[in-house]
Amino acid sequence: MAIGPNINDIREITVALSHKLKLDYANYAFSFLRRRLAHVYCALKIKKTDTFLEDIHSGNVIQDFCYNFPVGEGELFRDPSFWRSVRTKILPALGDNLTFWFPELVSAEELYSLLIILEEEKLTHKAKIFCNTKSCQRIEEIKQGKISLKNIEIHKSNFKRLELHSKFEDFFTEENGYAAIHEGLLEKIVYLNDNFFNCVPDQQIACTLFRNRMLYYNGKMQCKAEEYLQQNLSKGAFLVLGIKEQISKENELLFDLFDSSEQIYQVL
C-alpha cells in the first residue's frame, strides 16, 4: 500500500523536483504540497520515498509526476459568469489581437471552453492559443479532443446557462464513454512543453488565463509569478485570475482591476 510523505520527505522531494524541473517547489503552499504529494504517492503506488527520490533524479518518474501533481479543472465552462464576461467584455476589447495564453494548463475543459466561445463568436480563424504543460501525456490527451462523460450533465448545464446560439452537440460527439470535440477546433493551439517560468510564447499575448493556480502558491511564489507574467505581457493585456484570487498588495500597482466580480486585470 502506498504511503504519504512526512515533513522531512516533502523537504527532500521539493529540493529534488526543484533541481530537476527548474521550478521552486518549496514555494508551493505546504498544505497543498502535502495533499498533492500524497495523491502522487497513491497514483504511482510509491512505497518508499528513497526510491521515489532516485526516480526523480534519474528522470524515470518525471512525466508521471507532471501528469498527476497538478489539480485539474473537471468542468466545461466552470463559473459560467466568467465565460459570459469573456464573450461580452474581453473579446470586444481585444480587437484583432486574439492571442491567448494558458501558463499552466492542467486539463482540457478550460481550453475547450475558450475554443467554443471563439467558435461561437466566429473568431476561431483569427485566434492563436499557447498552452504550457510539462506533461506529454496531457498534451496527447488534449490533442485527442476527448472529455469523460462522467460530468456530462454538468458540462451541458453550464453550456445551457451561457445561452449560446449553438448547442453542446454542435461541438461534441459522444462515443465510447467520451465526448470528442470536433478536431478542427484544435488547430490553433501551440503547446509549450515546460513550465511558464522557463518558457513563454514568442508572440504578444492579449489575454492570459491563469484561473485557480495561485491558490496553491505561497506569498513569495505568487509575487514572483505576478511579476514574471507582467514582464512578459504588453501594456493593456488581460490577466484572468480565479474569483477567490487577487493580485498581491506588493504588485497591485502593476495591474488595473478590469472586472472585480471575475478578478480580471489589465497590465499597466
* pLDDT digit string, tens, across residues 138-148: 999 999 999 98
**Environment class of 36 (CB within 10 Å of its CB; exposed 0-12, middle 13-18, buried 19+):** middle
Rounded Cα–Cα distance for residues 132 and 144 (Å)? 17
Confidence band of 226 (pLDDT split at 50, 70, 90): very high
Tell me what percent of the residues of the chain surpass a pLDDT of 70.
99
Q: Cβ distance 80 to 161 under 8 Å?
A: yes
The stretch 83-93 carries a mean pLDDT of 97
Residue 6's pLDDT is 95
Among candidate residues 243, 247, 249, the one with its CA nearest the CA of residue 263 = 243
Cα 47 from Cα 41, distance rounded (Å) = 7
Whether residue 99 has pLDDT greater than 70? yes
Q: Tell me what the mean pLDDT of segment 251-259 comes to.
A: 97
Do the Cβ atoms of 145 and 154 come closer than 8 Å? Answer: no
Quote the CA–CA distance of 6 and 71 in Å, as a whole number. 21
Cα separation, 124 vs 129, in Å, equals 10
**Positive/negative CA dihedral, 154, 186, 172, 166:** positive
Q: State residue 98's pLDDT score.
A: 97
| Residue spans per domain, the chain | 7-68, 80-267
Mean pLDDT of 118-137: 96
pLDDT confidence tier of residue 2, bands split at 50, 70 and 90: low
Instruction: Tell me which CATH code domain 80-267 carries.
Output: 3.40.50.150
Whether 3 has a pLDDT exceeding 90, the answer reads no
pLDDT of residue 107: 86
Ranges of H-type helices in 22-131: 30-43, 49-58, 62-68, 80-85, 91-94, 108-120
pTM to 2 decimal places: 0.95
Q: Which residue has the higher pLDDT, 15 or 176?
A: 15
pLDDT of 4 strictly over 90 = no
Express each pLDDT in 45-77 by its tens digit: 999 999 999 999 999 999 999 999 999 888 999
Per residue in 152-210, pLDDT (tens digit) is: 999 999 999 999 999 999 999 988 889 999 988 999 999 999 999 999 999 999 999 99
Distance CA 138, CA 134 (A): 8
pLDDT per position as a tens digit, 196-207: 999 999 999 999
Sheet holding 264-267, edge to edge: 189-192, 128-132, 99-102, 207-209, 238-240, 264-267, 255-259
End-to-end CA distance of the chain: 52
CA atoms within a 13 Å half-sphere pointing along the CA-CB vector of 114: 26
Cell of 41: 504517492
Confidence category of residue 1, pLDDT binned at 50, 70, 90: very low
pLDDT averaged over the chain? 95
CB 81 within 8 A of CB 261: yes
